[in-house]
């Protein structure tokens, strides 16, 4: 019973009722598969492991770079950085025109020489820009390579952690689940065989029950016949007992 009222003494109960109603309104039913939580967790781990292994195979990178290679890459990166800085310094540094310009008389006498000088100067600048761009591309490639190697190592570490979670107490939970599934299948097959055997025994019982009255009618007063009928009845009793035992199992 809920109570909502304006009085002061109903304040706590009113607030509690409103909170409960709000929580009840926000409840959303979600349909879930009726399965063991451990099986669901194992299935999630297995799918993540397969996805990580696929990512590692697609990457196709070595797990790590040895010390010498890393050192050589570091040295080449340092050399590349220094060369790049030198080229930038060259580009920013104003060229010394006084060392290359000819005298005024030579400039006045031959405009071709000036044009040739300009062409050579432009060619040098183009070569410097090209070399600078190559250095920048090399640095960019090295950065991307290091980033890819770092991601590769993170994937391997995540995969290792997932595999450790699956192993509990030195026992592989995935293998245990597969073994339990095999045992269940074997039990189902055994139960099916028992059902077939039970059906066979039931048919035998029906046949014997049909034959028993016939024997009694044919040989009612002959002692050997009476003895054989008793044997048949005893066998029928044994078959009924076996049927009950199998049914109980």
Give the β-pairing of 171-172 and 167-168: antiparallel
The per-residue pLDDT for 228 is 55
Q: How far apart are the first and last CA of the chain?
A: 51
DSSP-derived 3-state class of residue 167? strand
- Residue 179 CB-density burial (10 A; 0-12 exposed, 13-18 middle, 19+ buried): exposed
The per-residue pLDDT for 181 is 79
Of the candidates 207, 206, 212, the one whose C-alpha atom is nearest the C-alpha of residue 234 is 212
CA dihedral of 39, 41, 47, 49, whole degrees rounded to 10 = -120
Neighbours of 104 (CB within 10 A): 8
The pTM score is 0.28
The per-residue pLDDT for 94 is 43
Residue 83 has φ and ψ, to the nearest 5°, of: -65, -40
- Residue 135 CB-density burial (10 A; 0-12 exposed, 13-18 middle, 19+ buried): buried
Model pLDDT for residues 216-239, shown as the tens digit of each residue: 444 444 444 444 556 666 777 777
pLDDT by residue for the chain (249 residues), tens digit each?
556 777 788 888 888 888 888 888 888 776 666 666 777 777 777 888 888 888 888 876 544 444 444 444 454 445 444 445 554 544 444 444 444 444 445 445 555 665 676 788 888 888 888 888 888 888 888 888 888 888 888 888 887 777 776 665 556 666 777 777 788 888 888 888 888 888 888 888 887 776 655 444 444 444 444 445 566 667 777 776 766 676 665
The per-residue pLDDT for 6 is 76
Q: For the chain, what are the domain ranges?
A: 61-168, 176-248
The per-residue pLDDT for 33 is 63
Burial 194-213 (b: 16+ CB within 10 A, else e): eeeeeeebeeebeeeeeeee
Of the candidates 54, 42, 51, the one whose C-alpha atom is nearest the C-alpha of residue 178 is 42
The per-residue pLDDT for 158 is 82
Distance CA 236, CA 245 (A): 14
The per-residue pLDDT for 215 is 47
The per-residue pLDDT for 101 is 43
**Angle formed at CA 227 by CA 225 and CA 233, multiple of 5 degrees:** 105
């Amino acid at each position: 019973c809920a109570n909502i009222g304006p009085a002061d003494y109903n304040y706590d109960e009113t607030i509690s009722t409103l909170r409960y109603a709000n929580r009840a309104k926000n409840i959303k039913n979600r349909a879930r598969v009726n399965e063991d939580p451990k099986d669901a967790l194992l299935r999630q781990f297995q799918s993540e492991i397969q996805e990580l292994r696929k990512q590692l195979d697609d990457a196709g990178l070595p797990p790590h770079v040895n010390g010498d290679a890393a050192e050589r890459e570091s040295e080449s990166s340092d050399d590349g950085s220094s060369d790049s800085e030198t080229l930038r310094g060259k580009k920013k540094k104003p060229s010394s025109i006084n060392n290359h310009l000819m005298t005024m008389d030579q400039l006045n006498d031959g405009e071709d020489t000036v044009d040739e000088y300009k062409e050579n100067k432009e060619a040098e600048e183009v070569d410097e820009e090209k070399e600078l761009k190559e250095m920048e591309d090399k640095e960019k490639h090295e950065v991307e390579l290091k980033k890819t190697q770092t991601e590769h190592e993170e994937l391997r570490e995540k995969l290792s952690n997932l595999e450790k979670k699956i192993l509990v107490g030195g026992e592989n939970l995935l293998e245990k689940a597969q073994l339990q599934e095999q045992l269940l299948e074997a039990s189902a097959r055994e139960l099916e065989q028992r059902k077939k055997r039970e059906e066979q025994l039931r048919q035998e019982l029906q046949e014997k029950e049909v034959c028993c009255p016939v024997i009694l009618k044919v040989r009612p007063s002959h002692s050997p016949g009476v003895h054989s009928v008793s044997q048949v009845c005893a066998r029928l009793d044994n078959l009924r007992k076996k049927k009950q035992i199998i049914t109980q199992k």
